Amino acid sequence: MKSVTMVSAGALAVVLNVVPSTQAIADAIHRSGTEHSVGLPGPNGALSADRDKDKDKDKDKGKGEKGDRGQRGPRGFQGHQGHQGPQGFQGVPGATGAQGPQGEQGDPGATGAQGAQGEQGDVGATGAQGDPGVQGPQGDAGAQGFQGDAGAQGPQGDTGAQGPQGFQGETGAQGDPGTLDTYVVAGEADVATSTALCFDNDVATGGGYQAADGTTVDRNSPVFAAIGAPATGWQAHTVAPPEGFQAFAVCAVVP
């Protein structure tokens, strides 16, 4: 039951208790469907207070004047949420938006793990033969080698047959005192090994060398033509620069 206050034109206000008609409720259910709830329609507006009076007065004249429109009924209760409708058609894709500004540079990522070692590659082809190098300069001549050692002594010959002893000769006269004829031979100068040899069959009775002060000499000796034979010259050798170095021999003439 709803309590509604209505005021008709030219009449006092009265309070009416109005019940919605059965037809109004049925219309509301029909319009909303069985699965939806809607608010009930409001009550019909109240008639004027002199309705019956006018009806009796104008009974022969037909329907009386229309009463004032009743106030709007209260808002019905909120209906239940309806079922989800089917999904609509796919809309037309929108236009591509403008390119956004480039973002800031991100921080460098962490270093990745060391990859596995690859397989051994094939051996490359042999390269082309290079051009011959430039001929180097001629080297300096080497120093003269030392005097080679004398050869081995030959075998002793067979002793000849003993001849007959001769007669004892007479004693000869005393001879004049003898003399020794000598000379000096110089070897090649400014070389590390300098050798001075006597002439012909002459023999060396001595020898030596001349050199600058402080010169180191590691050889200074006579030269022999054969083992057991007399010396035939002199030889000297230095390990220092040979400038001014020279050997010499003192030779005696053999008649």
pLDDT digits (tens, 9 = 90+) for 112-159: 888 888 888 888 888 888 888 888 888 888 778 778 777 778 788 777
Give a yes or no: residue 8 inside a domain.
Answer: yes
Q: Is the pLDDT of residue 170 over 90?
A: no
Task: Tell me the sheet residues that pair with 236.
Answer: 194, 220
pLDDT band at 37 (very low <50, low <70, confident <90, very high): very low
Of 61, 81, 96, the one marking the end of a domain is 61
Separation CA 246–CA 238 (nearest Å): 10
Angular region, 34: left φ>0, alpha ψ -120 to 50, beta rest:
alpha
Is the pLDDT confidence value at 255 over 90?
no
**Does 31 map to a domain?**
yes
Beta-strand relationship, 231-238 and 2-6: unpaired
Domain count, the chain: 2
pLDDT score at 29: 42
Model confidence over 182-194: pLDDT tens digits? 999 999 999 999 9
User: 44: pLDDT confidence band, cut at 50, 70 and 90?
Assistant: low
Q: Please enumerate in sequence order all residues whose Cβ is within 8 A of that of 24, keeping only pairs 6 or more positions apart, or say none.
A: 40, 41
Listed in sequence order, the DSSP H helices in the chain are: 22-32, 51-57
208: domain range?
Answer: 182-252
Asked whether 197 and 232 are in contact (CB, 8 A), the reply is yes
Q: What share of the chain is helix, strand, coil (3-state, %, to 5)?
A: 10, 20, 70
pLDDT tier at 16, thresholds 50, 70, 90: very low
Classify burial at 154, counting beta carbons within 10 Å of its beta carbon; exposed 0-12, middle 13-18, buried 19 or more. Answer: exposed
Q: What is the mean pLDDT of the chain?
A: 77
Does residue 98 sit within a domain? no
pTM: 0.32
Is 199 a member of any domain?
A: yes
How far is the C-alpha of 44 from the C-alpha of 224, rounded, in Å?
169
Q: Which residues contact 147 (CB under 8 A, 6 or more apart)?
A: 195, 223, 235
232 Cα distance to chain centroid: 76
Residue 169 lies in a domain: no
Between CA 231 and CA 213 the distance in angstroms is 28
Domain membership of residue 234 (yes or no) is yes
The verdict on residue 76 lying in a domain is no
Q: Is 162 inside any structural domain? A: no
Q: Is the dihedral of CA 53, 57, 63, 66 positive or negative?
A: negative
* Tens of pLDDT, residues 76-107: 888 888 888 888 888 888 888 889 899 899 88
3-class SS at 31? helix
Whether the per-residue pLDDT at 14 is higher than 60: the answer is no
Secondary structure (DSSP) of 205-248: EEEEEE--TT--EEEEEEEESSTTSPEEEEEEEESS--TT-EEE
Backbone angles phi, psi at 101, to 5 degrees: -65, 150
